[in-house]
Structure 1
Amino acid sequence: MSVAFTKEDSAETASETLLPDRPISPHPNLVTEAGLKALQLQLQQAQDAYEAAQAIEDVNERRRQGALPLRDVRYFASRVRTAQVVPAPASAETVAFGSTVTFRRDDGRVQTYRIVGEDEADPKADMISFVSPIARLLMGKAVGDVVGTAGQEIEIVAIA
């Protein structure tokens, strides 16, 4: 084996095992109780995956297989450590973190979303981040309030 091939292989291995950290939001890490539990579960899964990778005999393969879980361990450990659990809203009078809000758009579409933390957000599951533009418009508003966004108006029809 030539020295050049060895160096190339080492450079490839290094680039595969030194993954950049996942970006951390500059916003406060607000979470619901369920969101904190989900972060803790994801942290445990990442730790388990990293430990499984450490059992691989081949050092290069062990590094490759451990790179992603190790990056996730760093991310989720940070998110769990900085999580600020926000209790469920005491009232459904106004939209708040943790509220489920239903609104009607100008075109007649009715949408319902729960306002949650950034790591919990999943629009396909009807959960949006509290820092999303629509959530920021809705926070503090009450049923019947109308807010404008992107050239259209939306009316809040229910808060739970």
Structure 2
Amino acid sequence: MSRAFVKETDGEELDDGAPERPVSPHPNYVTPAGLAQLQAKVAELSAERQRLLGDESVGAKQQLRHVERELRYYDERVVSAIVVDPPTQPSGRVHFGATVDLEDEAGHVLRYTIVGEDEADAAHGKISWVSPLAQALLNAEAGDTVTWKRPAGDKELHILAIHPAG
């Protein structure tokens, strides 16, 4: 094919083709620490954006588009944040911000803290309040047995203790 019919960009129109990050349809509950994390991410991305604005290279322009997309996402998350102060939650029941000690059917003891979606980090025992596990635990009391509905099959968990945050 002749190159005469191929549109080439001058760098200004480069697009990485990535869609906007989807924003959760759930209320954006966050702990005070979670809000601070979101605000720190906005500050970090804003600084990176400023750094990239002066760089005219194609790579910097592509990176700038990525940073701006991330910044739009995190700005929205900060604006929509509903701070839940865990110490003000009712004691005696599993609630947002609480840490829960569980025992599974095999006798393994597990510990999870229920946090906001952007705070979730399963490797560190932080689970989103909208996760199936958190939904099974919310409002249960120590001594209760709950059913965690999982794709791999339901799992019975016994609540050993509830530790309020703060």
**Counterpart check, 1:80 vs 2:78:** yes
Q: 1:142 corresponds to which residue?
A: 141
The CA RMSD measured in Å over matched residues stands at: 2.0
Identity %: 38
Q: 2:93 corresponds to which residue?
A: 94
Matches of 2:43 and 2:76, distance apart in 1: 13
Give SS of 1:14's match.
coil
Matches of 1:120 and 1:70, distance apart in 2: 21
Q: 1:15 corresponds to which residue?
A: 15
Matches of 2:136 and 2:59, distance apart in 1: 48
Q: 1:158 corresponds to which residue?
A: 161
Matches of 2:5 and 2:124, distance apart in 1: 51
Q: Structure 1 residues 81-90 or 134-143, which shifts more?
A: 81-90
State the shift of 1:141 in Å. 0.5
Q: How many residues align?
A: 156
Give SS of 1:15's match.
coil
Gaps of at least 5 residues in structure 2 are none
Matches of 1:52 and 1:3, distance apart in 2: 37
For residues 77-107 of structure 1, what are the alpha-carbon distances to aligned partners after superposition, in whole Å with 9 as ceiling and x for unaligned?
Answer: 0000000000114443000000000110001
Q: Does the 8 Å CA contact 1:95/1:159 hold for their aligned counterparts?
A: yes
Give SS of 2:161's match.
strand
Q: Does the 8 Å CA contact 1:89/1:96 hold for their aligned counterparts?
A: no
TM-score by length of 1: 0.89
1:8-87 map, 5 Å: 8-9=8-9, 14-16=14-16, 19-58=18-57, 60-87=58-85
Q: Structure 1 residues 83-92 or 45-54, which shifts more?
A: 83-92
TM-score by length of 2: 0.86
Gaps of at least 5 residues in structure 1 are none
> Higher helix fraction: Structure 1 or Structure 2?
1
Matches of 2:64 and 2:12, distance apart in 1: 15
State the shift of 1:49 in Å. 1.1
